């Protein structure tokens, strides 16, 4: 009984084809977020795996926000032992089989060298399959996990995780744990194991200028009718300048904490196959690309329209709109975004611009100096012999606020994909060497959780 034995069992599980068989069976469930296979994935596939292989008690929980059920499973080994909450999501984006290259099928795992193609292989079925398999191998070797296990799998992540936070609030006692350990998103690079601690928040908003019904001939009325597109463009220019710098003080972070800046010193942005070139003169001046993506806010204009953009006519449009998005880090008061925009636009002479703010996914970030972070980095480094990358948070957004804010957990995310995995696109794939190493990493991590963790060292 040893850590090395658990890691070797995990490696054999991968090399023998057992992991591929599990993944192939799971990808075959066409669990599109708006589809009908969501509940059957939980009841027919994951429930037997968690009960038969991990000795959990499992049940499916209805979602108060709609047709996206959740699975809750628990294995209790002792009140004196640490408790981990493991999260994953079973839903995927649309399959779009017509857009995949010949010979590929989104609902069938196709192996082509190191690439395992199929919808959900990277996001997120492959990743939670790795974590469940690692737990199984630790249990086989030790005869027990050495900690209490709680599992939460949702089926609405790809449409914004409706109801997730509400369910976490209702089941706060049932889901109580010392730490969240989960996997989603990509590593910083295929060759570099990664730990991230949260995500930037995301808030959509729309600016709209609606001046009159219909359009009017620009020859007869040009020069005397206010053009809503011109007004909207000028209003946007007061929010973000021509180089992407946010101009509204309340939409900018106060600073980048020193330990966040330290963690980002050796993090590169881009440089992989198919990645766009980074614009060095874009965004907040004086920051590295990693600091701009991970440590700072960005305000993006996602679409801008007036009149008929694809078939313009000689007419002044009656209205214009811009769909925008604020990506925010911890320390930004995202709850006041609507008020901040309204006050700013009024002060700059744009009362005619209406502001509509959509639902926010709040920013979260575990403190990089938290003992759990040091513990996880040490475990990953011990297994791989490499220096793992530490991201204080992703540049993108995941529903981490349900765990960090609602359940009050330290959140540790160990991704098992890589940037060029075609996540959300045709030809999505899992990279076999990354998956194999991920299985070894998680077996070592879960072994260490049962041996020596911050929860064990803290009075309970």
pLDDT of residue 343: 98
Residue 460 has pLDDT above 50, yes or no: no
Q: What is d(CA 51, CA 397) in angstroms, rounded to the nearest whole number?
A: 31
pLDDT of residue 373: 98
pLDDT of residue 458: 56
Kindly report, residue by residue over 91-119, the tens digit of the pLDDT: 999 999 999 999 999 999 999 999 999 99
Kindly report, residue by residue over 118-176, the tens digit of the pLDDT: 999 999 999 999 999 999 999 999 999 999 999 999 999 999 999 999 999 999 999 99
List the one residue out of 403, 366, 411 whose CA is nearest residue 179.
Answer: 411
Residue 414 has pLDDT above 80, yes or no: yes
| Residue 297, CA distances (Å) to 124, 184, 187, 392 in order | 26, 22, 21, 14
pTM for this model (two decimals): 0.93
The sign one gets for the Cα dihedral 437, 439, 445, 450 is: negative
Q: Which domains does the chain have, with CATH numbers?
A: 3-199+363-457 (3.40.630.10), 202-253+297-357 (3.30.70.360)
pLDDT of residue 272: 79
Stretch 376-405: mean pLDDT, rounded?
96
Over the chain, what is the mean pLDDT? 96
Residue 208 has pLDDT above 80, yes or no: yes
**Torsion angles phi and psi, residue 330, rounded to 5:** -55, 135
């Amino acid at each position: 009984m040893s850590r090395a034995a658990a890691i070797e069992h995990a490696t054999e599980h991968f090399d023998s084809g057992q992991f591929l068989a599990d993944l192939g069976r799971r990808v075959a469930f066409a669990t599109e977020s708006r589809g009908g296979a969501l509940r059957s994935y939980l009841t027919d596939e994951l429930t037997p795996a968690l009960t038969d292989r991990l000795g959990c008690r499992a049940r499916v929980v209805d979602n108060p926000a709609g047709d996206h059920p959740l699975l809750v499973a628990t294995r209790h080994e002792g009140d004196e032992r640490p408790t981990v909450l493991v999260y994953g999501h079973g839903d995927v984006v649309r399959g779009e089989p017509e857009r995949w290259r010949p010979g590929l099928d989104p609902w069938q795992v196709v192996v082509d060298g190191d690439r395992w193609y199929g919808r959900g292989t990277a996001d997120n079925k492959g990743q939670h399959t790795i974590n469940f398999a690692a737990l199984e191998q630790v249990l086989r070797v030790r005869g027990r996990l050495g900690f209490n296990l709680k599992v939460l799998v949702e089926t609405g992540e790809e449409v914004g995780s409706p109801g997730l936070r509400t369910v976490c609030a209702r089941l706060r006692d049932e889901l109580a744990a010392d730490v969240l350990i989960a996997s989603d998103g990509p590593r910083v690079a295929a060759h570099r194991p990664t730990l991230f601690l949260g995500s930037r928040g995301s808030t959509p908003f729309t600016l709209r200028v609606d001046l009159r019904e219909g359009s009017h001939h620009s020859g007869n009325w040009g020069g005397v009718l206010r053009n809503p597109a011109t007004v909207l463009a000028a209003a946007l220019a007061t929010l973000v300048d021509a180089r992407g710098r946010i101009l509204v003080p309340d939409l900018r972070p106060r600073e980048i904490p020193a330990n966040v800046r330290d963690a980002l010193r050796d993090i590169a942005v881009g440089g992989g196959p198919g990645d766009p070139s980074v614009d060095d003169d874009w965004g907040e001046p004086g920051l590295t690309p990693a600091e701009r993506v991970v440590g700072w806010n960005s305000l993006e204009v996602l679409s801008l329209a007036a009149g008929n953009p694809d078939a313009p006519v000689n007419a002044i449009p009656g209205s214009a709109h811009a769909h925008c998005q604020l990506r925010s880090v911890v320390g930004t008061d995202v709850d006041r975004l609507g008020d901040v925009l309204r006050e700013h636009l009024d002060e700059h002479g744009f009362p005619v611009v209406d502001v509509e703010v959509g639902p926010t996914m709040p920013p979260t970030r575990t403190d990089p100096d938290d003992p759990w972070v040091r513990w996880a980095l040490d475990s990953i480094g011990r297994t791989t012999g490499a220096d793992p990358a530490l991201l204080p948070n992703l540049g993108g957004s995941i529903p981490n606020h349900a765990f960090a804010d609602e359940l009050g957990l330290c959140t540790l995310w160990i991704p098992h994909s890589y940037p060029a995995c075609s996540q959300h696109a045709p030809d999505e794939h899992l990279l076999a060497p990354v998956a194999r190493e991920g299985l070894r990493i998680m077996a070592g991590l879960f072994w260490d959780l049962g041996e020596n963790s911050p929860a064990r060292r803290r009075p309970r």
